[in-house]
Amino acid sequence: MLDFYTSFYYALFVFYGGVYTTMATIQARKSRGRKYWYIVESRRINGKPRPIMLAYLGKVDDLLKRLNGLTEEIKLKSYSHGAVAALLQVANELDICKTINKYVNSKRSYTTKKPIRNNLTVGASLLLAAIGRACRPTSKASWADWAKTTSLSYLLRISLNKIDSQHFWDLMDALPVESVEKIEEEIIQKIFQKYNLKTDTLFYDTTNFFTYIHTTNNRCNIAKRGRNKQKRSDLRQVGLALVVSKRDKLPLFHLTYEGNRHDSKIFSRIVKKVKVRLEKLGLSLEQHTLIFDRGNNSKANFALLTKNDMHYVGALVPYQHKQIVNESMRYLSKNNKESSYRTQQTIWGEKRTVVAFISDALKASQLSWIYNSIDKIETSLRQLQQGIAKRKRDIKSIEARVSEIIKKYESYINYHIDKQPNGKHQLNFSINKTMLEQTENERGFRILITNRHDWSSEEIIQSYHGQSQIERSFRDLKNPYNLAVRPQYHWTDQKIKVHFFICVLGYLLTALLKLKIKEAANYDYESGALIHELNSIRLATLLEDTKTQGKMKAHYKLEEMSKTEQDLVAALSLEYYHRKRPKISGFSVYN
């Protein structure tokens, strides 16, 4: 029987562990009256033979059950791993928890003398919230439910089951709002030092996020009613201003502001702040250009840019500068080969370079909207035409209905109402083709202004076209599946601002992942697609019953991955991250 077991265990060893180059044997050893089997190899140490234990095989009965497929003692569970591991890794490299904790105000915490809850610091809690926003936006109350589906608890060596909304509220309250800008500045400085980034063009824009904060809530002054970009002007909203870099799309600056503020008023608040941010990062103002849209225009704002020695590329509203429109249209119509018209003019008291051009993409989009609107108007007018032909109606009511249908497009529609001998009315209408042709010639027209007098017209136009990149950033922050600012269930100014900081932090960490992957594997992902791909990388946990006082033995291994997932793991150096599990500075009260 011993020979059988010896042969069996040796075969098992070869199957699981591979063949060793030197002879190994199966040996039994007793411990507390029980026999256990090991793979042992004889080696010479200091000239004398010594047995070296290579692997523990266990008891005979357990191994026989495995051989026969009786594996009911083994349980398998897997967790979403790639995204949380990669984001933790980047956060640890930048020492984010420690940076946040430097600015914590312990007197502002409601429940404890020190801003610590469930053995987690403020920095740790805000980082966990930021990772949650990046991977799966939820309410603070549902955060722990999401965390259970990930490897976060295993990677951090702590239980996250007790983290609830109150946990986040207490520790968010301990972070003074005025410190958010300092924290962001310090994190960006570390990013530039570590990644050796180079920037030249910066894109600036604003957006807003509607909330469900009640009208009678007087504790909140930042949520106001205004023109909402998601068509929810009936709700109170919060504004977000963002500055991102051109090449890496990193958010270098953000500002949370009142929802009823006009873009031009916010622009005057951020110009000086952006200048200070660039100076503290050690970046040259001469080499950087701020790109913004025409919603920020005002004489005072352009004067402020000049005062702060900022280079810029902006846009003018054609209706307000008809002389430039007429000059450029005459020039472009005479010179069909030319794609732009360039001049220098004194605008708002300063000489500026002006470049006018017709954007084919913009023209196609605008005309498509007009054509679709006219088609709908024609359909409605035909229905009205058929209706009044069947029964008598008052001419004033017919005219009112026609005016309601054509609304802003009355210049494109010619119509007249004739009274018939039978007392009924007839509606006749047609499309004003002359007006439509004029619109087709004028649409897609853009006027850009800049103080970059040495730039070519093509450089000016291309830099302004890059403005779409920040629109992409806003789309990411409104993606309901990853990185979203909403849902947010906060109703005080302080917590709303800290919440927005958490969301921008999650977006910043994701942008750094994109940068690392692009450099290592030459993959250029959209933010949401990258997080989705990383979430699909899972960590499997095999739990084996040890028959020892109910304890289970856990084995951790990455699940089988696709080629793309393998490339992502290699690019982010995640192969062995689940084994190393490095401690994160400033994360826990214990370290």
The 10s digit of each residue's pLDDT in 387-428 is: 888 888 888 888 888 888 988 888 888 888 888 888 788 888
pLDDT at 433 over 70: yes
Banded pLDDT at 310 (limits 50, 70, 90): very high
Banded pLDDT at 20 (limits 50, 70, 90): very low
pTM above 0.85, yes or no: no
pLDDT at 86 over 90: yes
Average pLDDT of span 37-49: 77
pLDDT at 74 over 70: no
- Of the candidates 204, 217, 372, 354, which has an alpha carbon nearest to the alpha carbon of residue 277? 204
Domain boundaries, given as residue ranges, for the chain = 2-69, 179-332+452-494, 362-442
SS3 at position 509: helix
For residues 120 and 142, give the distance between their C-alpha atoms in angstroms, rounded to a whole number: 18
Average pLDDT of span 134-151: 92
What are the start-end ranges of the E strands in 420-517?
Answer: 425-431, 445-450
Pick 413 or 43 by higher pLDDT: 413
Query: What is the model's pLDDT at position 15?
Result: 45
Read off the pLDDT of residues 90-128 as tens digits, 9 standing for 90 and up. Answer: 999 999 999 999 998 765 544 445 688 888 999 999 999
Contact 349, 299 (CB under 8 A): yes
Is the bond leading into 487 cis (omega within 30 degrees of zero)? yes
Report domain 179-332+452-494's class: alpha beta
Read off the pLDDT of residues 247-270 as tens digits, 9 standing for 90 and up. Answer: 888 999 999 999 999 888 999 999
Average pLDDT of span 293-307: 91
Percent of the chain with pLDDT over 70: 89
Rounded to a whole number of angstroms, the distance between the first and last alpha carbons of the chain is 54
Query: What is the model's pLDDT at position 21?
Result: 42
pLDDT at 132 over 90: yes
pLDDT at 330 over 90: no
Read off the pLDDT of residues 537-563 as tens digits, 9 standing for 90 and up. Answer: 999 988 766 655 556 677 888 988 999
Average pLDDT of span 134-154: 92
Q: How far is residue 454 from each of residues 198, 352, 353, 450, 451, measured CA to CA in Å?
A: 21, 11, 9, 10, 9
Give me 199's structure tokens: 């920037």
What are the DSSP calls for 293-348, one per residue? Answer: -GGG--HHHHHHHHHTT-EEEEEE-GGG-HHHHHHHHHHHHH-TT--EEEEEEEET
Q: How far is residue 85 from each of residues 131, 133, 591, measured CA to CA in Å?
A: 10, 14, 19
- Average pLDDT over the chain, rounded to an integer: 85
Average pLDDT of span 324-338: 78
Q: How far is residue 229 from each of residues 237, 259, 471, 501, 528, measured CA to CA in Å?
A: 10, 11, 12, 21, 21
Query: What is the model's pLDDT at position 504?
Result: 96
Query: What is the model's pLDDT at position 107?
Result: 57
pLDDT at 364 over 60: yes
Query: What is the model's pLDDT at position 436?
Result: 82
SS3 at position 154: helix
Query: What is the model's pLDDT at position 338?
Result: 66
Query: What is the model's pLDDT at position 388?
Result: 85
Pick 420 or 129 by higher pLDDT: 129
Contact 541, 555 (CB under 8 A): yes
For residues 134 and 143, give the distance between their C-alpha atoms in angstroms, rounded to a whole number: 12
Residue 479 burial (C-beta neighbours within 10 Å; 0-12, 13-18, 19+): middle
Half-sphere exposure of 49 (CA within 13 A, CB side): 3
Pick 501 or 322 by higher pLDDT: 501
Read off the pLDDT of residues 490-525 as tens digits, 9 standing for 90 and up. Answer: 889 999 999 999 999 999 999 999 999 988 888 888
Query: What is the model's pLDDT at position 579?
Result: 84
pLDDT at 68 over 70: no
pLDDT at 18 over 50: no
What are the DSSP calls for 76-124, one per residue? Answer: EEEEE-HHHHHHHHHHHHHTHHHHHHTT--GGG-SS-SSS-BTTB-HHH
What are the DSSP calls for 354-405, one per residue? Answer: EEEEE-HHHHHHHHHHHHHHHHHHHHHHHHHHHHHHHS---HHHHHHHHHHH
Percent of the chain with pLDDT over 90: 39
pLDDT at 351 over 60: yes
Read off the pLDDT of residues 453-488 as tens digits, 9 standing for 90 and up. Answer: 999 999 999 999 888 888 888 888 988 888 889 888
